[in-house]
Structure 1
Amino acid sequence: MGEKRSARSLNEHLALPPPPSPGVAVAINGKKKSKYVTFWALEKLIPQGFSDFKLIHVRPPITYIVTPMGKAISISEARAEVVSDYRREADSKTNEMLLPYKNMFERRKVRVEILVLESHDPVAAIAEEIAGTGVTKLVIGISVPGFFTKKIDMASLIATAVPRFCTVYVVSKGRLASVRPSDSESSGRITFERMERDSSTSSSPDSSSPRAHSRNNHEIANMDGGAVIPANYSFVSHQASNMSDGHPSVHSTTDNNQKLRAELKHVQDMYATTQTETAEAFQKVIVRAFEPHRPCNFNVMLHFLFLFGFWLQLTELNKRRYEESEKLMKLREKEEEAKDSASKEKQRYEETMKEVKKVKELMMKEALRRREVEIKAERHAKEKDKLHASLISPGIQYQYYSWEEIEVATSNFSEELKIGVGSYGTVYKCNLHHTIGAVKVLHAGETQLSKQFDQELEILSKIRHPHLVLLLGACPERGCLVYEYMDNGSLDDRLMQVNNTPPIPWFNRFKIALEVASALVFLHKTKPRPIIHRDLKPGNILLDHNFVSKLGDVGLSTMVNQDDNSSKLTVLKKTNPVGTLCYIDPEYQRTGIISPKSDVYSLGIVILQLITAKPAIGITHKVEEAIGDDAEFMALLDMKAGPWPISETRELAALGLWCTELRRRDRPDLKDLIIPTLERLWKVVDKAQNLRGKTPSGPPSHFICPLLKGVMNEPCVAADGYTYDREAIQNWLRENDTSPVTNLELPDKNLLANYTLYSAIMEWKSNKQ
């Protein structure tokens, strides 16, 4: 009776306020393991009747921005619009990171509220959010397991800070690792499956043993059927790391010492608790063994002696563990002191190196002044050589780049800037005179490649067309060609969705077919000699940021003679047909005779790939088999492009099959039949765009002046490395000595004309007209 009265008074003393409305919160840091946490919460808590979820993500506040030159500046020093753009980009990245988790909830058809908090202290932010919303269950992930790791475990800190009315579940690799129950669960009846099994066996002969009694009063079972967690276990600190990716929390030596002392205090508490529980259990065994009505026999005495010896061993073991933990804490404190000393030494070393660097910079400035005259002389010599070359070959016009300029623009041909590798050369992304481009370096050591280089340089330097890739310049002595940079890569990469690129919409594919056909007509009608491409394929069709297609890689093109008295081309015999398998004209392959109809065959294969996004091999047979049946034909289409108009798409497929006839004379004429058909089908695209809202076709981003927010008329480079419109930056510099973008002081107010970018802008403006 005494025990019952004391238990009742204890429960009355620990009476809790009524619990808040039920809800579940899932805290994630956005890393890969966060998906395990979310999946566990959905799998385990939805069957319990929970349908309202909150997804919490904490990121650090934005206090600085990074300039293109790699410098970090405070947001208080940057212009408001720059800070706004930087913050908008950060929000976009956060939303993109949270999208897969949102989709997980939507697939399970449960309501979810996504909360993005900004704080340098994720633990306090999560605890404050739980306290304010009344969430009753919180699911978090676990860091590195173990009692004595280097830093405090984020899961432990969160579980300690969260209000006691909320149950905290810690999940590791999709399984429940531990539970910190709420006050109501700790004082009430535990409803977990394993605890119910323990209670159900309480009437068995062993249910009254000290071991069973201790387990029923001090353990709760893992919801996944895993390890049993003591109810009085307070989360031991493991490792503290910022929940926001890429922004680790910085702790001082004082904070680390405080956390080490907290770990020691926790071990001491656990030691005392274990001692108390063991003594209580041992006392109950003695009382049970020597009750007046229970006969004392030899077996009971042996059992008592065994338990007594076990208790002595356990006591000694706990004592040793406590002593070892104290030693370990002292070693950790010494380690932190050593690290602090090393950090100060490193700081002094860095300050010394800065002074050395300043002296070197002064020496370099003096050397640069003496070298300036030499550089100017070399520049004048190069300009003279360019003028001489233009006088010798007045028909070929291109910007000359030296090999040294190409090396600098590609960071010495860095692997990170490599765009692709073909049969005839390697393509790198480059930055020449503050203009983004793509430089193709032909493989050295082959005579045939020099012919292809000369062929491509001659063709692209003489002709211009909106759907032919723009040649910016070349380095003839090293076999380098510099083109405009196409943001969306090749048509082949986009159709096959290399690197998980988004698919091309169906109406853009109609437009691409018309653009490629118009580029071929232009080549075939070139004067004085028509040009046949001979290597038309999706890999040689490039797309800019607005999905405008441009034909490139004309290194295998050939010029044919044309009779002035005839509108038909005189074909040439070629003993060795060139091109790419599956795209080569079968008749050209068999006879070696080339004609414009050879490009028509390749165009037909490209059209069939545009509507199916399938490899070229066997594609004509697949389309022929399916085109007569609506179901089979729809199954063959690339449905990732959106809802195709079935009638117009079938007509486009029929046009593609017509172009791939085996005999040249059976194929349609490019100018008289193919172009009119594609123009008529384009009206469907135009109508679809009007219904959806026309896609903006603005200028490339590097054409826009940061001050005018419009296309530059006369681009020039300022001392901060950014390109501006000359009139706009001159007006700015009359009243300011700082950069309009970085807000930092400019070393000088000199301006350098960007002729390459000026030519590209003029070309773009002429095409818009």
Structure 2
Amino acid sequence: MNELRNQSTHVILDFSCKDLDQATEHFKNASEVGDTEYGRTYKCMIHNTKVAIKLSSSQRLFQQEVSILRQWRHPNIITFIGVCSKVSALVYEWLPNGNLEDRIICTNNSPPLSWYNRTQIIGEICWALLFLHSNKPTALVHGDLRPCNILIDANYRSKLCSFGMSNLFLQPGTFPPNLTARLPYMDPEFNTTGELTTLSDVYSLGVIILRVLTGMPPLTLSEKVAEALESDSLHLLIDKSAGDWPYIEAKQLALIGLSCTEMTRKKRPDLLNEVWIVIEPLTRKPPAATWPYLQSASGDSSVPAAFICPISMEIMKDPQVASDGFTYEAEAIRCWFDRGNSRSPMTNLALPNLNLVPNRVLRSFIHEYLQQQQQQPNPAYQEQLSKT
């Protein structure tokens, strides 16, 4: 953390109103990509560089955010390029994959994040919070940690943004805007005491972990996950669109997410000594899938996991091995390539090539398996069998 902080000094550019006006074509609506309580955001080009320009909703918010971003740089905190103080505008790097909220709900029919991507993102958020909380002499608290304030770059790496709003919450007589959307992520003790601490961020992180794991709405999510763990039915809550989650990893994430969302701060884990030591090992090379069962889109829970395409979540008819070593349904992986993707759907690493090799052995096993099911009909298979 200290090494990162020592390397964090960087030049902040001063832009004129004319610079921003030309870049956005007089702030045309066509350039606008966001309008929130933080301000309006525009996508444009400045000096042949694609950037995002945010017109802050207030001078105070602008000053708070600049004071934080001007000091530090971190791989998982949005890169701050410059300002135009006259119109309270901040200029950031442009991240093409939107925010984590959009990726969780697959806005505009975007492909779902793989379980490996999701684990990496959780680790990156945790690392960025450790950096903020280790600030001396006073820890920096984000205070508004939500999926919509976590941006995703072209390589599906995450970066925190929207700093400073939390400080406005503490002003006398003020209330957080858009409270309904914020409430599920807000520290319950903050709601009663008005005090933000690093453990407030830990609570928000816990909700995000459970959200990324399940894909479910945040309200009462911790209660649902706790019930699922108690009844040994966690597999029913896991977001199947993410692929075949390793069982041990999924359970670890569920447990650490629940511990972070304890109602009282004194019961929440320490971010470094209790949360990071669990999450950091999970961000390394992905382990082999170890779910004891996998529920396919057809509703059957006893189909061997190796027979399921990790993209379509259906029994494969024409299994093909991609250059990442994983096997996919031919039509699903070709559609993945046709959308311009050149990275593995499972690991997000760049594929050496887009070649496919038929997995004839697996295809033979699947064919034999389906024949057995036809000889011993089971109503749960009828729709799937009719497709194959």
Query: With structure 2 as the length reference, what TM-score do the two structures score?
Result: 0.69
Name which of 98, 105, 108 aligns with 1:499: 108
Secondary structure at 2:41's aligned position in 1?
strand
Instruction: In structure 2, list runs of 5 or more residues that go unmatched.
Output: 1-8, 290-322, 327-343, 352-388
Take 1:573 and 1:402, find their aligned partners in 2: how far apart are those partners?
Answer: 31
Name which of 4, 8, 12 aligns with 1:398: 12
Deviations 1:331-365 (A, max 9, x none): xxxxxxxxxxxxxxxxxxxxxxxxxxxxxxxxxxx
Q: Which residue of 1 aligns with 2:60?
A: 451
Q: CA deviation at 1:690?
A: 7.8
Q: Which residue of 1 aligns with 2:190?
A: 588
1:483–1:670 distance in 2 versus 1, CA, 3 Å: same
Q: CA deviation at 1:648?
A: 1.4
Deviations 1:635-685 (A, max 9, x none): 211111111112210110111010000000000000111111001222362
Q: Which residue of 1 aligns with 2:273?
A: 672
Secondary structure at 2:70's aligned position in 1?
helix
Alignment partner of 1:640 is 2:241: yes
Does the 8 Å CA contact 1:409/1:431 hold for their aligned counterparts? yes
Secondary structure at 1:521's aligned position in 2?
helix
Instruction: In structure 1, list runs of 5 or more residues that go unmatched.
Output: 1-394, 444-448, 560-571, 699-769
Name which of 605, 608, 623 aligns with 2:210: 608
1:420–1:686 distance in 2 versus 1, CA, 3 Å: farther
Q: CA deviation at 1:574?
A: 7.7
Take 2:208 and 2:258, find their aligned partners in 1: how far apart are those partners?
Answer: 11
Does the 8 Å CA contact 1:508/1:685 hold for their aligned counterparts? no
Does the 8 Å CA contact 1:611/1:638 hold for their aligned counterparts? yes
Take 2:139 and 2:267, find their aligned partners in 1: how far apart are those partners?
Answer: 22
Q: Which residue of 1 aligns with 2:36?
A: 422
Take 1:577 and 1:415, find their aligned partners in 2: how far apart are those partners?
Answer: 29
Q: How does 1:16-35 map to 2 (within 5 A)?
A: none
Q: Which residue of 1 aligns with 2:161?
A: 552
Q: How does 1:164-563 map to 2 (within 5 A)?
A: 397-443=11-57, 449-558=58-167
- What letter is aligned with 2:68? I
Secondary structure at 1:462's aligned position in 2?
coil
Take 1:576 and 1:618, find their aligned partners in 2: how far apart are those partners?
Answer: 26
Does the 8 Å CA contact 1:523/1:530 hold for their aligned counterparts? yes
- What letter is aligned with 1:596? T
Take 2:31 and 2:229, find their aligned partners in 1: how far apart are those partners?
Answer: 43
Secondary structure at 2:284's aligned position in 1?
helix
Take 1:695 and 1:584, find their aligned partners in 2: how far apart are those partners?
Answer: 31
Does the 8 Å CA contact 2:38/2:162 hold for their aligned counterparts? no
Larger Rg: 1
- What letter is aligned with 1:411? E
Does the 8 Å CA contact 2:83/2:90 hold for their aligned counterparts? yes
Query: With structure 1 as the length reference, what TM-score do the two structures score?
Result: 0.35
Secondary structure at 2:95's aligned position in 1?
coil
Secondary structure at 2:251's aligned position in 1?
helix
Alignment partner of 1:628 is 2:230: yes
Does the 8 Å CA contact 2:96/2:153 hold for their aligned counterparts? yes
Does the 8 Å CA contact 1:577/1:588 hold for their aligned counterparts? no
Q: CA deviation at 1:697?
A: 6.1
Which structure: greater helix fraction?
1
Take 1:515 and 1:686, find their aligned partners in 2: how far apart are those partners?
Answer: 18
Superposition misfits of 4+ residues, deviation over 6 angstroms: 572-575, 686-690
Secondary structure at 2:42's aligned position in 1?
strand
Deviations 1:421-459 (A, max 9, x none): 11120111010010001111123xxxxx21111011111
Q: CA deviation at 1:396?
A: 8.8
Does the 8 Å CA contact 1:546/1:697 hold for their aligned counterparts? no
Report how many residues are paired: 286
Take 1:690 and 1:500, find their aligned partners in 2: how far apart are those partners?
Answer: 24
Take 2:142 and 2:51, find their aligned partners in 1: how far apart are those partners?
Answer: 23
Take 1:683 and 1:690, find their aligned partners in 2: how far apart are those partners?
Answer: 16
1:557–1:593 distance in 2 versus 1, CA, 3 Å: closer
- What letter is aligned with 1:419? V
- What letter is aligned with 1:608? L
- What letter is aligned with 1:519? A
- What letter is aligned with 1:418? E
Secondary structure at 2:81's aligned position in 1?
strand
Alignment partner of 1:681 is 2:282: yes
- What letter is aligned with 1:618? T
Higher relative contact order (CA 8 A, sep 6+): 2
Percent of residue pairs identical:
38
1:573–1:659 distance in 2 versus 1, CA, 3 Å: farther
Q: How large is the RMSD of aligned CA atoms in angstroms?
A: 2.5
Secondary structure at 1:459's aligned position in 2?
helix
1:545–1:396 distance in 2 versus 1, CA, 3 Å: closer
- What letter is aligned with 1:450? Q
1:644–1:586 distance in 2 versus 1, CA, 3 Å: same
- What letter is aligned with 2:93? E
- What letter is aligned with 2:210? L
Q: Which residue of 2 aligns with 1:84?
A: none
Secondary structure at 1:419's aligned position in 2?
strand
